[in-house]
Amino acid sequence: MLNKLALSGNLLSRALAGPWSMKLFYLGYFSAMGVYLPYLGLYLGSVGFSGTQIGLTASFFPLAGVVMPPLWGLLSDRFGWRKYLLMAALLAAILTSLLLWLIAHSFAMLLIFLILLAIAISPAIPLADAITLQWIDERGGSYGAIRVYGSAGFLIAAIVAGTILNAVGIASLFLLLAVVFCAPFLASFFMPGQSKANMTRANSRELLILLRDRVLLLFLLLCMIGYGTFAAYNTFFGLYLRSLGIDTAAIGLASGMASLSELPIMMLSPLLLKRLGVKWLLIIGLSIAVVRWLGYAIFTDYPALFSFTLLHGIAFASFYVASVTFLDQRVPLQLRTTGQTLFYGTSFGLGTWASTNLFGALYERLHGSTTYLVAAAICAASILGLILLIPRNPTQETTTSEALPEDVASGHL
């Protein structure tokens, strides 16, 4: 009996040793996000939070993405702990979700534990992306073909969670979240560790070189500006549709189809990257976003707005795949996780936080159409910067010791 169990365990490990462990991770993690993100505001409203309190609480999610991922990334690259830090982050997410369900009922307690949850999950995707990209470098394959499982997971979970929570009550949100977080946690056990070939530890000299890479810093800044405009959609599109008299079911359909539209772009990303290169795939993605924001600003009928929402897949998936690939090609192998966490912290952290506040003020004073006109203008500015300032080839002008003073380049800090 024990031999059969051991054999079954070995077979399972072999089956998940390849890309399936990473596919299942993305499927599980974004399923958890599909439970958490669409229904957090509804939960907070149900326990009596005011609009200001909901806004304050929600703002900690991107804020955690500013500070924590780079710190986790430095630890990962310094000690080779990618897989173990990922496992620890997911375990912390499970435990924090359970505590949110069991004991966090006041505003103060909810705020504290939601901050802890944001800190726990903020490094998960940068760490997983670094693991996945390393595996692809060594074995071959497509990042988009693996990451697409995340888009599918979010779409399915958002729909299924709505049905479950409607039946058992929104009070069970964090219990459901804890259960769903178990899936990526278990998948992380089977994800590949850092290979010996990539175990060269980052040192302070290499980190200084990275932080003095002008192209890299400009790239992070322009991505932060461009992706920041997506906050106008992520936070305010539902409110905009509601103000136009569109019901909740139609709003949910538009959001679901937006997630679904990511799937073909993720699947086709290897071909798109080969044909266009990372720079022009990124520019095309953000250009589609400009068209989308202009469509939201000009049209007010639901069929037109729904049609422009279907551009989400081209805009976001192109931006995300191209950005992750650019960072992977630009940053030294031993700083791979640090590079991904810098991207995540700037675009999804600082950029989202700043843009949410900006578009919130604009929406309150100028309403939806003007908000999306401003978003289009800001996104267009980031595109111009990418065209003029970023090289077509990420490895072009790769940073070397010449970028630093002689004493620093020689390792004497």
- pLDDT higher than threshold 60 for residue 184: yes
How many whole angstroms separate alpha carbon 185 and alpha carbon 121? 11
How many whole angstroms separate alpha carbon 123 and alpha carbon 298? 38
| Signed CA dihedral, 345, 86, 155, 96: sign only | negative
Q: Looking up tokens 């530890």, which residue turns up?
A: 201
- pLDDT higher than threshold 70 for residue 15: no
The confidence band for 14, taking pLDDT boundaries of 50, 70 and 90, is low
- Helix, strand, or coil (residue 335): helix
Across 127-141, 191-205, 378-392, which has the greatest mean pLDDT? 378-392
How many whole angstroms separate alpha carbon 410 and alpha carbon 413? 9
- pLDDT higher than threshold 50 for residue 413: no
For the chain, domain boundaries: 11-196, 202-413
How many whole angstroms separate alpha carbon 211 and alpha carbon 278? 21
CATH for the 202-413 domain, from 2.20.28.10, 1.10.10.60, 1.20.1250.20, 3.40.50.20: 1.20.1250.20
Find out whether 96 and 117 touch, Cβ atoms under 8 Å. yes
pLDDT tens for each residue of 301-317: 989 999 999 999 899 99
For position 195, what pLDDT does the model report?
58
pLDDT tens for each residue of 46-57: 787 765 566 667
Q: Looking up tokens 């500006």, which residue turns up?
A: 225
Find out whether 205 and 409 touch, Cβ atoms under 8 Å. yes
Q: Do domains 11-196 and 202-413 have the same CATH topology?
A: yes
How many whole angstroms separate alpha carbon 22 and alpha carbon 187? 7
Average per-residue pLDDT in the chain? 81
How many whole angstroms separate alpha carbon 340 and alpha carbon 133? 10
For position 280, what pLDDT does the model report?
95
Q: Backbone phi, then psi, for 249, in 5-degree steps?
A: -60, -40
CATH for the 11-196 domain, from 3.40.50.300, 1.10.3720.10, 1.20.1250.20, 3.30.565.10: 1.20.1250.20
Tokens of 183: 């899936």
pTM: 0.72
Tokens of 296: 């939201």
